[in-house]
Homo-oligomer: A and B are copies of this chain.
Amino acid sequence: MREDPYRAFMPYPDAAAPSAPAGALQGLSFAVKDVIDVAGYPTGCGNPVKLAASGVRTKTAPVVQALLDAGARFAGKTQTDEFAYSILGRNIHFGSPVNPAAPGRISGGSSSGSAVAVAARQVDFALGTDTAGSLRAPASYCGVFGIRPTWGRVDNAGVEPLSPSYDTVGWFARSAETLAAVGDVLLGDDPTPLPGAARFLVDRACFGLARPEAAAALEVALRRVELRLGCFDIAAAAPNLDNLCWALRHMQSWEAWEAHKTFIERHAPVMNASLAERFASGKDVTETLLAESRALAARFRNHLADLLGEGTVLVLPTMPSPPPFLAEAEASMEDFRNRTLRLMCPSSLSGFPQVTIPVHDGETGPLGLSLLGPAGSDRSLIQLAARVAEAARERIA
Contacts and interface: CB of A to CB of B under 8 A. Distances in A.
Interface residues of A, number: 25
A20 B159 CA distance: 40
25 contacts: A1-B53, A7-B268, A10-B52, A11-B49, A11-B52, A11-B53, A11-B267, A12-B52, A12-B55, A13-B54, A13-B55, A42-B52, A44-B52, A48-B48, A48-B93, A48-B94, A49-B94, A49-B95, A51-B51, A56-B56, A93-B93, A93-B270, A95-B268, A95-B269, A95-B270
A157 interface: no
Given A51-B51, A53-B12, A56-B56, A270 B7 contact: no
A7 B11 CA distance: 26
Nearest to A267: B11
Interface in A36-71: 42, 44, 48-49, 51-56
A92 interface: yes
A44 B50 CA distance: 13
A7 B7 CA distance: 30
Contacts of A1: 53, 266
Contacts of A13: 53-55
A94 B47 CA distance: 9
Question: Which 5 residue pairs spanning A and B have beta carbons closest together?
Answer: A48-B48, A13-B55, A11-B53, A48-B93, A95-B270
Nearest to A92: B270
A42 B48 CA distance: 13
A56 B1 CA distance: 16
Contacts of A93: 48, 93, 270
Interface in A103-136: none
Contacts of A95: 49, 268-270
Contacts of A12: 52-53, 55
A87 to B, nearest CB: 20
